[in-house]
Structure 1
Amino acid sequence: MLFWTHPHGRAIMTGEEDLLQRGLDCHNAGRLQEARYAYRTLLERKPDDPDALYLLGALAYQSGSPAEAVELTQRALTVGADAAQCHNIMGLALQNLGKTSEAEASFQSAIAIHESPSFSINLGNLWCAQGRFDEAIAQYGRALAQDPGHAGAHYNLGNAHRARGELDRAATCFRQAVDRDPIHGNALAGLGQVLHTLRRDEEAVPWLEKALALLPDDASLHHELGESLHQLRRIPEATAAYRQALALNPKLARTWYAAGCAEASRDEWAAAAMCFRKALEVDPEWAAAQHNLGQALFNLGQVDEALDLMRRAAAGGPPELPRASIAVIVTGSQTSGNRAILDARSAFAEHDLPAPDRDRVRARNHDGPLRVGYVSSLFDQHNYMKPVWGMINRHDRRQFAIHLFSDSPVTAITHGYQGHPDDRFHDIARLSNRKAAELIEQTGIDLLVDLNGYSRFRRLPLFALRPAPIIVGSFNLIATTGMRAFDYLIADREAIPPEEEKFYCEKILRVQGSYLSFEVTYPVPPVADPPCLAKGTLTFGCLATLYKINPRVVAAWSRILRQAPRSALILKNSAMRSPGNRHFLHDLFREQGIGPERVRLEGPSDHYEFLKQYDEIDVALDTFPCNGGTTTTEAIWQGVPVVAFRGDRWAARTSASILRAANLGAFVAVGIEEYVSMAVGMANSPDTPARLAELRRNMRAQLSTSPVCDVQKITEAVERLYLQMWREREHRP
């Protein structure tokens, strides 16, 4: 704390001297109005009192009136006040007025009259503000030569080193300041801030907390504590720090943004969206906040609003991340058809992925099995890999040598894969895309199959590098890749009719039945009787992820519930863990006239218990335009029919592909109107409970003999396509 002292150290007497002392006491106690009154009263009695003029000038500077401070200290100089002190205060006031040359001259005059660490520090601060860091550092050194224990000099020297990016030196200076003055709040804060910038957050947090104990009203400091806690993944504590910062200053856009990122990190999408909206209220054109709000809204199913925000972000800031996000989410947009999907993904591939070199790896002379490489980040997700493991297990090893390139270790694969002694497993989790491409090339893979698609976005550049002569996409794509690096996509006629091939940059090859044929090789609950047998009313359900439950889906489901007033709906997914997300979704239904008592929201559980949720569901409702894939296969395996309709794109036809191949085509409507009327008819028909009971009793037996579970047949079909691809490659010039 700064204490004002009697400029001349003169003895306090009576009368005017009493007024001066009273002013000093009030000044040092922070009672500035009383101090001003005392000084002015003294000047009324003695207009040229040098001490009163000087101290009133200092008070004017301290109170934010720099012009008045200059005028008073100039008067004080003419009547014999302490010249060094007057020049120092005048320099500070002139600096505040932006008159930096005059301020510098005043500080130099003060130093010329009397060497004082505070005068050197003030001149150093002026130079530091001007970016004259070498001169500033020298001036702080001059102050320390006069007083090596001066905490303020160490602190300001730290600021200069921090401004020059010399963070380790800055940290040392701040530590020296704190060693000499343990309650120097700004030095404590500076040390914590520098350690955070150095990513030494474990060290930073205690210093920031000590600083806040002294500076509890510093909103920026609460923000910086939040950032350090955030980096340490102490998210609840980080959120609390951000909230404290925002309570002190609701206009801190960066804190709203950081709070949104913290909420998003724990899938609190509704809370994250609110925070990013608040950031944009303060800074409407902040591209990063637009993008992140888009991401939060996408995860809440608001895909078209998300796309609009991402397009704005791409136009107003660095376009790479928004362009990539658009490519990922565009398949779920109600307003974006096949052409828009192709354009978005082609733009991403053209601008943000390596240009493919089709001649990088030439086809090798072949006298043995075709080397097929499967790339996946999800081999450990047995429920997700149902359409894949059956085919891989049944490959004819006389014709095909199988290589698995996995982002999870082989020990994590607990179900599905039946390891063959001739197979080769490659753990690429720690490899960059370029290193993984080099491994694939060195392995001599002839045909490389992407099992990720856009669901594991970070691996797409691997395929752009074309580490094999033939690149194929199939399972998990639901649209064109937009990448010229891909040669083929494998689908079926239901998913991609011939007239839509113009919306694909790949050559389309098809299998009979469904390209998503599957088998279940992991523990699942037994099929239960339909709950409507006991309840007498129909319960609809959907276990799809929240991002697929868009406004049009909510509107259609609400129509069903309104027209079937005794029915109910169960929704279950991981996002429903959050009360905020549940409230958001319930509000969407409220807007459609459906209260929360009709829509039961369930959070996540382990997979076996997750599947047992189907015991409480009579009929599953599909999402659109992004249908269920895994969700649809799991529902029918648990005996629950899925009401779906054939949409306008691949993503909107995956359920139709599965259901028709499962001999459940009766549940595939022509369009959304028939989809709604089919569900309503089932809910209102007295025959439905018996029909569903019969269906459930026979469902698994029916599926097992249907094309959708004829994995041997699909394997043979895919193998024929692989050989066809190789023949076409051999005949390519």
Structure 2
Amino acid sequence: MQPPAPADPDTIFARTTALLASGASGEALELLGAARASFPEHAGIAGRYSDALHLAGRLDEAVDAYQVALRLDATSTQSWYGLGCVHLARRQYGAAARALKRAVVRQPDAGLPNHSLAEALYQLGHVDAAIDHFQRASRAGIPGLAEVARSNIACIIPGSSAADNAAVLRARQDWAALEANKIPSSARRRNVRTAKGLKLRIGYLSAFFGERNWMKPVWALINCHDRARFEVHMFSDGGRPSADNGYRDHPDDNIHVIRGVANERVDRIIAGAGIDVLIDLNGYSFQGRLPLLMRRPAPVIVGWFNMFATTGIAAVDWLVGDSAVIPPGEEPYYVERIHRLPSTYLAFEVLYPVPEVAPLPSLTHGAITFGCLGSQYKLTDAVLGAWARILKGAPAAGLFIKNRALEDTSTRADLLDRLARHGVDAARVTLEGHAEHFDFLRAYDRIDIALDTFPYNGGTTTTEALWQGVPVLAFNGDRWAARTSRSLLLAAGLQDWVLPDAESYVQRAIALAADPATPARLATLRGELRDRLRAAPVCDSVGMCRAMEAFYQLAAAGVT
């Protein structure tokens, strides 16, 4: 039989605090539910009841309960923190940031509130502020938290306007050094190729083989491999490669499902398969596998596809890019050797159903609609400032933004508030949230000109815009992440859409919106763009594959 609840509210508060700390949220919730009815004005019990609901996963109820607790005590750091964390779990990033800021104001050096606030700010596009709060969290002295915070900084820093190549290199090397220290030196071997004269065994490592929209360049490469000379292995942390996602199944290919398998075991799997060249397709998008590379499971380790900065990992031998994204002279900002493909490193094919190209919307609406379907975390203050200047200089134009994060009303409110601070009237902006991928692509039916983000460009977003007939306006940025669209546009024969700098980007957008000849030119381009892409290096999957195969052979032989 359950012992009766203590009659003293302070005793209940102390007991349930201990229960929650020990993980007994169910027992705490039972006690607190009764206590709330007996002591409805006790702020401590109200806060602990909110925490118990939160830990039990009853998030909707937790939001209401935290609001009650905060009406009783608006100075409670714990309740503001808890409320922010619930909003964060529900992907309500604007609401999360507001609540977590209240917690941090009360305890500026508190580690967990700063870390959660950083997460919310990053998802909203406040990247520089997010890094500042991750740094504060790292200094809080909480075991393990500094490591997680540094990991997050290393992941997101290429998208920080305040960072440069040197800062990116430093942050990633710092994180990599921490991770490398966890791996016994005996596990960091350098395998040597032993199967001389046989097919070269190449292995692709990815958590995203099942994501058809992401993998267009990957399948363009893998489908074209010469199986008479190469034995292809895929190590998958996600969905299996399939025809639905663009993979042309080959009977000689080897697919290894490694989801949930520890790095130590995967190391043995890859080494046991005799892989000569291991190509990591994840980069920091699946950070948990990067320490695997530090174990050197193959003689040669290459980073390609989802790379847009150094990994900071000395065990990675090569990064594959091109001269548009890594110009000569930037090698000192990479711990890896750089191999440049002759054209874009992201040549792609669209191997699944997509909408037909729609008529140009400005022919109907009479004014240019600029748009962006990039992730919300790419919409930095610098991006919004540039777009605001474009709208100011093109008073008839509209702006359309669509991404998953904008499902949430508080995130939409945050974005509109940021634009308003730049002088943009909300009436000129259309915001939309997530859609199934086919319908998501239909959003390009409503866009005349896509605006690239910076310093974190589109990659998939740029290829999809072009394929739907929408040219992308971009410029030559100051780092790889800020030049990805440049690589694609140059290889597509769209040099005129790549400007020298951010100022030129703004002025070109204004000029296009003001020119009465723009709609006719855009309509012509829209109608012929797919055919132009198919004939251009940007869709030359065979050429990219042959260049990569030649590189793999030379890298395996150690003669590059």
Q: Name the TM-score class by shorter chain.
A: over 0.9
User: Compared with structure 1, are the counterparts of its residues 260 and 525 closer, same or farther at alpha carbon in structure 2 (3 Å cutoff)?
Assistant: same
Note the alpha carbon deviations across 1:227-250, whole angstroms, 9 max, x for none. 333233321112222222222222
Aligned with residue 391 of structure 1, among 221, 238, 245: 221
Q: Shift in Å at residue 198 of structure 1? A: 4.9
Aligned with residue 501 of structure 1, among 306, 324, 331: 331
Q: Shift in Å at residue 206 of structure 1? A: 3.5
Is 1:620 the counterpart of 2:450? The answer is yes
Distance 1:699 1:600 in 2: 26
Aligned with residue 478 of structure 2, among 643, 648, 672: 648
The answer to whether the 8 Å contact 1:186/1:211 transfers is no
User: Compared with structure 1, are the counterparts of its residues 561 and 511 closer, same or farther at alpha carbon in structure 2 (3 Å cutoff)?
Assistant: same
Q: How does 1:140-539 map to 2 (within 5 A)?
A: 175-178=2-5, 196-202=20-26, 204-318=28-142, 319-353=146-180, 354=182, 359-410=189-240, 414-539=244-369
Q: How does 1:553-592 map to 2 (within 5 A)?
A: 553-592=383-422
Q: Shift in Å at residue 400 of structure 1? A: 1.5
Distance 2:48 2:244 in 1: 43
Distance 2:409 2:197 in 1: 61
User: Compared with structure 1, are the counterparts of its residues 532 and 336 closer, same or farther at alpha carbon in structure 2 (3 Å cutoff)?
Assistant: same
Q: Shift in Å at residue 310 of structure 1? A: 2.0
Is 1:631 the counterpart of 2:461? The answer is yes
Distance 1:360 1:429 in 2: 25
In terms of mean alpha carbon deviation, does 465-474 or 514-523 score higher?
A: 465-474
Amino acid at match of 1:720: A
Note the alpha carbon deviations across 1:685-705, whole angstroms, 9 max, x for none. 111111011111101111011
- C-alpha root-mean-square deviation of aligned residues, in Å? 2.1
The answer to whether the 8 Å contact 1:541/1:569 transfers is yes
Distance 2:46 2:286 in 1: 35
Amino acid at match of 1:239: V
The answer to whether the 8 Å contact 1:189/1:207 transfers is no
Amino acid at match of 2:115: H
Q: Shift in Å at residue 194 of structure 1? A: 5.9
SS at match of 2:255: strand
SS at match of 1:397: coil
The answer to whether the 8 Å contact 1:571/1:602 transfers is yes
Greater relative contact order (Cα < 8 A, sep 6+) = 2
Distance 2:77 2:228 in 1: 62
Q: Quote the residue 1:668 is aligned against.
A: 498
SS at match of 2:204: strand
Distance 1:295 1:250 in 2: 23
The answer to whether the 8 Å contact 1:619/1:642 transfers is yes
Distance 1:560 1:188 in 2: 59
Distance 1:312 1:228 in 2: 27
The answer to whether the 8 Å contact 1:301/1:551 transfers is yes
User: Compared with structure 1, are the counterparts of its residues 233 and 177 closer, same or farther at alpha carbon in structure 2 (3 Å cutoff)?
Assistant: closer
Amino acid at match of 2:311: T
SS at match of 2:330: helix
Aligned with residue 721 of structure 1, among 537, 551, 555: 551
Amino acid at match of 2:129: E
The answer to whether the 8 Å contact 2:36/2:46 transfers is yes
Amino acid at match of 2:29: V
Amino acid at match of 1:217: E
Q: Shift in Å at residue 412 of structure 1? A: 7.3
The answer to whether the 8 Å contact 1:381/1:413 transfers is no
Distance 1:214 1:624 in 2: 55
Amino acid at match of 2:163: S
SS at match of 1:365: coil
Distance 2:68 2:242 in 1: 42
Distance 1:659 1:411 in 2: 28
SS at match of 1:527: coil
SS at match of 1:361: coil
Q: Shift in Å at residue 186 of structure 1? A: 7.3
The answer to whether the 8 Å contact 1:382/1:413 transfers is no
Note the alpha carbon deviations across 1:93-152, whole angstroms, 9 max, x for none. xxxxxxxxxxxxxxxxxxxxxxxxxxxxxxxxxxxxxxxxxxxxxxxxxxxxxxxxxxxx
Note the alpha carbon deviations across 1:255-306, whole angstroms, 9 max, x for none. 2112211111122111111122111122111122222222211211111122
TM-score normalised to the size of structure 2? 0.94
The answer to whether the 8 Å contact 1:177/1:184 transfers is no
Distance 2:236 2:52 in 1: 34
User: Compared with structure 1, are the counterparts of its residues 723 and 298 closer, same or farther at alpha carbon in structure 2 (3 Å cutoff)?
Assistant: same
Q: Quote the residue 1:33 is aligned against.
A: none
Distance 2:228 2:35 in 1: 70
User: Compared with structure 1, are the counterparts of its residues 413 and 433 closer, same or farther at alpha carbon in structure 2 (3 Å cutoff)?
Assistant: farther
The answer to whether the 8 Å contact 2:9/2:45 transfers is no
Q: Shift in Å at residue 221 of structure 1? A: 2.7
Distance 1:527 1:633 in 2: 14
Is 1:686 the counterpart of 2:516? The answer is yes
User: Compared with structure 1, are the counterparts of its residues 296 and 401 closer, same or farther at alpha carbon in structure 2 (3 Å cutoff)?
Assistant: same
Distance 2:251 2:440 in 1: 34
Note the alpha carbon deviations across 1:452-482, whole angstroms, 9 max, x for none. 1111222211212221111110111100001
Distance 1:714 1:411 in 2: 20
Q: How many residue pairs were aligned?
A: 554
Distance 2:395 2:269 in 1: 59
Distance 1:385 1:670 in 2: 29
Distance 2:24 2:224 in 1: 51
The answer to whether the 8 Å contact 2:13/2:48 transfers is no
Distance 1:297 1:558 in 2: 21
Distance 2:360 2:551 in 1: 41
User: Compared with structure 1, are the counterparts of its residues 672 and 185 closer, same or farther at alpha carbon in structure 2 (3 Å cutoff)?
Assistant: closer
Distance 1:517 1:559 in 2: 33
User: Compared with structure 1, are the counterparts of its residues 189 and 281 closer, same or farther at alpha carbon in structure 2 (3 Å cutoff)?
Assistant: closer
Distance 1:533 1:409 in 2: 42
Distance 1:240 1:368 in 2: 65
The answer to whether the 8 Å contact 1:620/1:635 transfers is yes
Distance 2:370 2:523 in 1: 15
Q: Shift in Å at residue 204 of structure 1? A: 4.5
The answer to whether the 8 Å contact 2:279/2:302 transfers is yes
The answer to whether the 8 Å contact 2:46/2:69 transfers is yes
Q: Percent identity?
A: 43
The answer to whether the 8 Å contact 1:487/1:507 transfers is yes
Q: Shift in Å at residue 254 of structure 1? A: 1.8
From the two aligned structures, give the one with the greater helix fraction. 1
